[in-house]
């Protein structure tokens, strides 16, 4: 009896995006140590204030006692750097989303939007003025993950950061591109210990933060800007074709 004829495997087609991927600069081990040390020195006073003057919650009974003694022992104000930091992945993401909304290019006009543009132009101008006064650019975003693309919770940060630092609309102020510093995961414990909190995840530092001049200058000299060519390519009205791979 003749052996059965093996059927050839069916071809598998894979469709990938024709645009290039987001790239962020790699940080050398020496630069990682310097950035970590400078950042810990910057965060330590804030953590000491939290450790000394902020008592952890112990339930409702504890809250009653603190209300009684609140006027007897007023809490001193935290260090100035505390008002120039964003701690946590959610806080950094929300701020970058707001910055990306401000720097987003205007939409192409349509027939339906043409009539409503005149009515809503005044409100849009007021909203833009409010965003410019409340939103502050970030000098750097520090992640405690060396490869954000491999982490579902960090994968959106490089592209979102690039969108937040696009060329702003005419008439708005320009600032230096925000640097993305991806550090090893082990640094999360060091930053959390310096801030006296359970976990950090991400830290955003506002531009011109007090006491952060040395860190800001070092990062701008040794860490390049994030590159996201596919966003720049997508903004151009060009057909890029379709990339099809057959295995």
pTM of structure: 0.72
Domain annotation covers residue 86 = yes
Domain annotation covers residue 216 = yes
Least confident of 33-37, 215-219, 232-236: 232-236
Domain containing residue 144: CATH number? 3.30.1330.30
pLDDT of 186 above 80: yes
Domain annotation covers residue 233 = yes
For residue 144, give its domain range. 13-53+79-103+132-165+176-246
Per-residue model confidence as pLDDT tens digits over 133-160: 578 899 999 999 888 878 888 888 888 8
Helical (H) or strand (E) element with 143: strand 138-143
Which two tokens mark 73?
Answer: 């022992």
Q: What percent of the chain stands above pLDDT 70? A: 69
Domain annotation covers residue 110 = no
Domain annotation covers residue 208 = yes
| Amino acid 112: pLDDT | 46
| Amino acid 89: pLDDT | 92
Residues in the chain, overall count: 247
Domain annotation covers residue 145 = yes
Domain annotation covers residue 62 = no
Which ranges in the chain belong to alpha helices (H)? 29-53, 60-68, 89-103, 111-134, 157-164, 187-195, 213-222, 229-235
Domain annotation covers residue 186 = yes
pLDDT of 244 above 50: yes
CA 174, CA 177: separation in Å to the nearest integer?
Answer: 9
128 backbone φψ class: left, alpha, beta (φ>0; ψ -120 to 50): alpha
Helical (H) or strand (E) element with 125: helix 111-134
Looking at mean pLDDT, say which of 20-34, 120-134, 176-190 comes out highest: 176-190
Which positions ≥6 away from 245 have C-beta within 8 Å? 13, 14, 15, 16
Domain count, the chain: 1
Q: What average pLDDT does this structure show over 71-79?
A: 71
């Amino acid at each position: 009896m003749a052996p059965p004829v093996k059927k050839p495997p069916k071809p598998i087609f894979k469709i990938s995006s024709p645009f290039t991927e987001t790239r962020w600069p790699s940080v050398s081990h020496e630069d990682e140590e310097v950035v970590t040390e400078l950042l810990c020195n910057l965060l330590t006073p804030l953590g000491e204030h939290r450790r000394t003057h902020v008592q952890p919650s112990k339930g409702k009974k504890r809250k009653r006692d603190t209300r009684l003694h609140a006027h007897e022992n007023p809490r001193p104000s935290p260090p100035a750097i505390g008002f120039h930091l964003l701690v946590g992945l959610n806080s950094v993401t929300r701020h970058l989303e707001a910055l990306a909304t401000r720097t987003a290019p205007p939409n192409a006009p349509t027939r339906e939007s043409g009539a409503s543009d005149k009515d809503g132009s005044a409100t849009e101008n007021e909203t833009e003025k409010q965003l410019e006064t409340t939103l502050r650019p970030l000098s750097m975003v520090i992640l405690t993950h060396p490869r954000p693309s491999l982490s579902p919770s960090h994968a959106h940060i490089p592209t979102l950061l690039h969108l937040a630092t696009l060329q702003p609309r005419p008439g708005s102020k320009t600032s230096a591109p925000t640097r993305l510093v991806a550090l090893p995961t082990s640094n999360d414990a060091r930053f959390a210990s310096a801030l006296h909190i359970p976990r950090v995840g991400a830290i955003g530092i506002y531009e011109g933060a007090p006491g952060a001049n040395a860190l800001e200058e070092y990062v701008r000299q040794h860490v390049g800007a994030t590159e996201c060519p596919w966003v720049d390519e997508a903004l151009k009205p060009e057909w890029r074709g379709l990339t099809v791979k057959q295995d």
